[in-house]
Structure formats: C-alpha cells, structure tokens
Amino acid sequence: MKNKKGSAILTTPIIIAIGIMFVAGLIVLAVEIITPYIWYEKLSSTCIKYVFIMEDYGYLTKQEANKLKAELIGYGFDKNKFKIKYTSSRVSYGNPIFLAISYDYLIKIPLLESKIIPMEITRNSVSKR
C-alpha cells in the first residue's frame, strides 16, 4: 500500500485536537481535585484569625460571630452549608476556649458523580483575658 501525499495534512490536526481536549480534561480534573484543599485552607486561616480574637475577649462575641459569618460568605462559602460552634460566654484567664467550623463542600468531577466532602476545623486555645 502506497502512502498518499497529503494524508499527514488531514490526520495531524485531528491528533492535535484530540491531544488538546485530553490535556484540557486533565487540567479541569486537577483543578476540581485541588479546589477542596484551597477551601480547607481558607476555613483554617479564618478559624485561626478568630481564635486570636477569642483569646483577647475570652469568648466570641455575637458581633464577632456575625463578622465571621460575613467573612466566610465573602470568601464564597454557602451560608446554608457551614456551621459554627464556639465558646459563647466569657471565661476567665487560662480557661479553655474553642472554635469549630464545619462545611460540606460539593465536589463535581466531570463524567463522575458529585460527592460531598465534609470539612471540619477545630481550634482550641486558652483565654488571655
């Protein structure tokens, strides 16, 4: 069988297109897999920030709790999917305080079923007041 001239002109763009679609699919998959870790780090850093505030006051005030909720919503967290538990009454110097934030992250991987990933951050400290 003889090779016909011009056959490479037809097959090369098809192979390149298939390769680009494959790489694009891998990039989308990688982003979907990495995203929950980014959300977890956002929760963790926010939790640490508010634990420092709690150490100063001896508890999390209602005003600060509302700021925490607004900050999480500002980051893009769905207000119906996160729960916050915290020390809500003043404790004296050296007594334990805690802040726990839980969030249900919905991961959507193309061609596979969606899955909910539960994230829970708990930070403990002591009152400095």
Query: What confidence score (pLDDT) does residue 28 get?
Result: 86
Q: What is the mean pLDDT of residues 91-105?
A: 93
The end-to-end CA distance of the chain, in Å, is 88
Query: What confidence score (pLDDT) does residue 113 get?
Result: 81
Q: Where are the domains of the chain?
A: 7-126
Query: What confidence score (pLDDT) does residue 5 get?
Result: 64
Could you give the 3-state DSSP secondary structure of residue 101? strand
Q: Enumerate residues 6+ apart whose C-beta is below 8 A from 68.
A: 46, 50, 60, 84
User: Which residues does residue 107 pair with via DSSP β-bridges, in sequence order?
Assistant: 115
pLDDT in tens, 26-66: 898 888 889 999 999 999 999 999 999 999 989 999 999 99
pTM above 0.85, yes or no: no
Statement: residue 18 has pLDDT above 70: yes
Question: How far is 84 from 69, CA to CA, in rounded Å?
Answer: 8
Q: What is the mean pLDDT of residues 104-109?
A: 86
Query: What confidence score (pLDDT) does residue 2 get?
Result: 58
Q: Which of 85, 55, 57, 88 is nearest to 69 (CA)?
A: 85
